[in-house]
Amino acid sequence: LFGLSGQIREPLELISGKEQPQEGGVFRFICKDNLWMLEKTGRRTAVSNPEFTTSSLVNRKETRLIHCFTLEPREPDYFFQVNNDLQTDPTSLFTNKSICSLQTPTGFRALVGLIYSEVTFKPKDGVDLYNMKNITEDELEAVLMEKFDVKLQNKMQAVNRRVFLEF
């Protein structure tokens, strides 16, 4: 999930059905027919900027599948094709958006295309707060430096083609 809403921060025990709470939500492995699935149950979301209440960057599913795998050992070559496709397929999120994310002690920051988000987890209140805004190309370098401590050698052109994200 490239550091966004999955937010696994501590190791998880590989025990089927065990709920494992963390700041980002409650994680649970489920094993069916030797296929392991990792689910995350999150909280209600509150979006501060009404312009983004219907954004595909806001997770609205209470429980969602994050990952599936088997315990069969794999060599690195097994992953080559899917990784190549993610980097080259014209329908891939990774060829249509520039993405930068950073975990913070209370949530995460993300820059996806030209949308900057700060998400604060509030597990005691049962809510995650989304503070989102559009930035301009002119603000891009300052946001990268101030929010992510990233300084680029060359001017960045954000990739920001329209794509629907489902988290």
Q: CB under 8 Å to 140, separation ≥6 — which residues?
A: 114, 156, 158
Taking the whole predicted model, whether its pTM rises above 0.85 is answered as: no
Count the alpha carbons within 13 Å of 84 in the hemisphere toward its beta carbon. 6
- Give the closest residue to 101 by CA, choosing from 113, 89, 87, 85: 113
Chain segment 69-97, per-residue pLDDT in tens: 999 999 999 999 999 998 999 888 888 88
Selecting from 1.10.486.10, 3.40.930.10, 3.30.2140.20, 3.40.50.720, what CATH number does the domain 19-148 have?
Answer: 3.30.2140.20
Domain ranges of the chain: 19-148
Tokens of 57: 């960057």
Chain segment 113-148, per-residue pLDDT in tens: 899 999 999 999 999 999 999 999 999 999 999 999
